[in-house]
Amino acid sequence: MKRFDEILHNGYSQSFEVTKVLFHEKTEHQDLVIFDTPIYGRVMALDNIVQVTTRDEYVYHEMLTHVPVLAKGDVTDVLIIGGGDGGILREALRHKSIERATMVELDRSVVDLSLEYLPEISNGAFDDPRTDLVIADGVKFVAETDKRFDVIIVDSTDPIGPGEVLFTESFYADCHRCLKDGGVLVTQNGVPFYQGDEVTNTYQRMGKSFVDNGFYTAVVPTYVGGMMALGWGTDDGEMRNVDVETLNQRFQAASLTTRYYTPEVHKAAFALPQFIIDLCI
């Protein structure tokens, strides 16, 4: 393999120069390939769709984690659905207030191969005593568990194949049931420029369960098409409006060092361009 062509969007693709293929095999659930590139470092793709690169993973993982945790404040229990590479787990456990991080991953192979080929992404998070790794179907887990969480983070693939069930009305309803009072759900929601239907569908489906739902954004170079939408659902309508001073206080108290996230970026991320607002119908 000299090049890897990702064809996620109709009529458009991106191509990566491949310097070395490290692993390529069809697991129980999906086709998984890990390869090296001169620009993005090491890359993992599932079913021919890029999931993570070592060059820019910090943008996605910081924004999907620190925004809900610092907006909520006093977070002790986090549930991560998906996220087999361990990046979300890594960022969550940087918050000393978190006593338990439950991670539910469908495909054990993603965890094992990430530990072998992409260890810097999890950076020891799987060995943290606060980690509870569950290899199971995330949909079934939230439907059946009696545990409750301050924050639920859905680090899923796109709504194609195994990830499709994580974008349903029933799944969002079950996530709502699993949250403590005043808890928040955040989700991966694609690139609105290309995946507008995904934004609209999530807005409508999540709105059936949450008093306040919508999106905030981050720019991840790998996920081409401009801003990436991150879904937001909570019954606390003021949580998205936490002022920068309070966010700064929580950020400093957590002693975080970040490469993308800042309290100012956090606040600004909820200011959506009109074309995304127009999709929220």
Instruction: Identify the CATH number of the domain in which residue 72 sits.
Output: 3.40.50.150
Tell me what pLDDT residue 166 has.
87
Q: Measured between alpha carbons, how far is 159 from 228 in angstroms, rounded to an integer?
A: 15
**Catalytic residue check, 278:** no
Q: Answer yes or no: do 25 and 157 share one domain.
A: no
Q: Answer yes or no: do 253 and 144 share one domain.
A: yes
By residue count, the chain amounts to 281
Q: Answer yes or no: do 35 and 92 share one domain.
A: no
Q: Answer yes or no: do 131 and 264 share one domain.
A: yes
Q: Give me the mean pLDDT over the 252-266 stretch.
A: 97
How does pLDDT run across 164-221, given as a tens digit for each residue?
Answer: 888 999 999 999 999 999 999 999 999 999 999 999 999 999 999 999 999 999 999 9
Other Cβ atoms less than 10 A from the Cβ of 105: the count is 24
Tell me what pLDDT residue 29 has.
84
Q: Answer yes or no: do 20 and 133 share one domain.
A: no
Q: Measured between alpha carbons, how far is 255 from 68 in angstroms, rounded to an integer?
A: 17
Q: Give me the mean pLDDT over the 58-62 stretch.
A: 98
- Is the separation of the CB atoms in 184 and 221 below 8 Å? no
Tell me what pLDDT residue 162 has.
65
Q: Give me the mean pLDDT over the 243-260 stretch.
A: 98
Asked which of 53, 75, 90 is the last residue of a domain, the reply is 53
Tell me what pLDDT residue 14 has.
95
For the chain, the domain total comes to 2
pTM: 0.96
What Rg, from alpha-carbon coordinates, does the chain have? Answer: 18
Q: The domain that contains 46 carries what CATH number?
A: 2.30.140.10
Q: Answer yes or no: do 141 and 231 share one domain.
A: yes
Q: Answer yes or no: do 96 and 214 share one domain.
A: yes
How does pLDDT run across 128-163, given as a tens digit for each residue?
Answer: 999 999 999 999 999 999 999 999 999 987 776 667
Range of the domain at 119: 57-277
Catalytic residue among 56, 77, 150, 155: 155
Is it the case that residue 70 has pLDDT exceeding 80?
A: yes
Q: Answer yes or no: do 213 and 103 share one domain.
A: yes
Q: Answer yes or no: do 8 and 104 share one domain.
A: no
Q: Answer yes or no: do 104 and 84 share one domain.
A: yes
Tell me what pLDDT residue 161 has.
63
Tell me what pLDDT residue 165 has.
84
Q: Answer yes or no: do 128 and 176 share one domain.
A: yes
